[in-house]
Amino acid sequence: MSVHNSRKRLLAPDITAMKGQGPIVALTAYHAHTAAIADRYCDFLLVGDSLGMVMHGFETTVPVPLELMIMHGRAVVRGAKRALVVVDMPFGSYEESPSVAFRNAARVMKETDCGAVKIEGGRRMAETIRYLVERGIPVMAHIGLTPQSVNVIGGFKAQGRTTEQWAAIEEDARLVADAGAFAVVLEAITQPLAARITEAINIPTIGIGASESCDGQILVMEDMLGLSPQVPRFVKKFGKVGEAIEDAIQSYAEDVRSRAFPTPDHTYPMKAEAPKGRSRVSPSQVRATKKPKTLSSKG
C-alpha cells in the first residue's frame, strides 16, 4: 500500500494556473532565513544565479558553478514551506545538448528538492525545454535581457527598444511556451512589447524591468531591500536595510572600543559553589542515608 504525503508547497502547474488571475509575486532568495520570510508573501522564490554577483562578488553571473547553485538551492528549500522554489541553471550547465541539460537539471532537482529550474534563451533553448519537460522537469524560461549572454550582447542592455527587435523576442516567447515552459521571465523589455507577449501566450509572464503589463513581478531581494550599492533603473528600493546594517555595525564598533559592550547583562555568571571543606549533598542523597522507621510493640 503506497502512502502519499500531502504537499502544501505550490508546484509549477499552480503558477501556470495563475495566468490572468492576478499578479504573481516573486523574489530571489539565496539563504534559508530570508527564504522563510519571503515565503509568507511570495508565490515562488527564485534561487537566481545573480547570487554570484550579489553574494560572491563576481562581475557577472557567468562564473557561477553548478555546485554553488545547488548549495544555495538546498538552503532556500529548507527555509521555504509554501512557495515554489525555482533554481537557475548556471552558464555552461545546459547549452551543450538537451541530454547534458537533463543530467544537470535532474541533479539540481534531486539534490535540492526544488520544484523547477530556469533556463535562459528563447528559440535556441526551445528544444532543450521540450526535452526536459517531457522527462519530468518543470522549466521556467527567460528571454529579453539574458545576463548569461552579457559578453555577446555587449553588457546589461534593455531589449526591444525599437520595433525592429520585437519580432524576434515575440518568437522567443511563443517558442518557449509551445515547448512546455510553465512560465517565462521577461527581463528589461519595453512596456508595449511586454503587453503584446503577455496577451499572445498562454503561460504567465514574470516581469523584471518589463512593466506592470506582465502577469507577475520579480526582483532581486538585495536590490529591493537597499542592500546593493548600484541597482538597475527598474528597481524600486522598498527598504533601507543596507543603511540599517551599517548603523548597527558602527554602534557595535563604538561600544566595543569604549568598553560599553559587553556589560554584565551579556556575561555568564558563576554558579554557586559549596563552602570549602564541605561536600555538597543532594536532597536525594540525604533521603537515601536516613534509616527507615520501625514499629515497636509494647511488652
| Cα torsion 259, 260, 264, 266: sign | negative
Q: Which residues pair with 144 in a beta bridge?
A: 187
What span, in angstroms and rounded, lies between the C-alpha atoms of 245 and 95?
Answer: 39
**Burial tier of 211 (Cβ tally within 10 Å: 0-12, 13-18, 19+):** middle
Where are any strands of DSSP class E within the chain?
A: 24-28, 44-47, 84-88, 116-120, 139-144, 183-187, 205-208, 216-219
Cell numbers found for residue 35:
527564504
Instruction: Give, rounded to a whole angstrom, the gap between the first and last alpha carbons of the chain.
Output: 77
Residue 165: HSE in the Cβ half-sphere, 13 Å Cα cutoff: 13
Q: Which residues pair with 207 in a beta bridge?
A: 186, 217
Among 120, 170, 187, 222, which one carries the catalytic annotation? 187
Q: DSSP 3-state assignment of 90?
A: coil
Query: Could you confirm whether 187 is annotated as catalytic?
Result: yes
> How many other CB atoms are found less than 10 A from the CB of residue 170?
18
* Angle, helix 66-79 to helix 98-112, in steps of 10 degrees: 40
> Which residues are known catalytic residues?
187
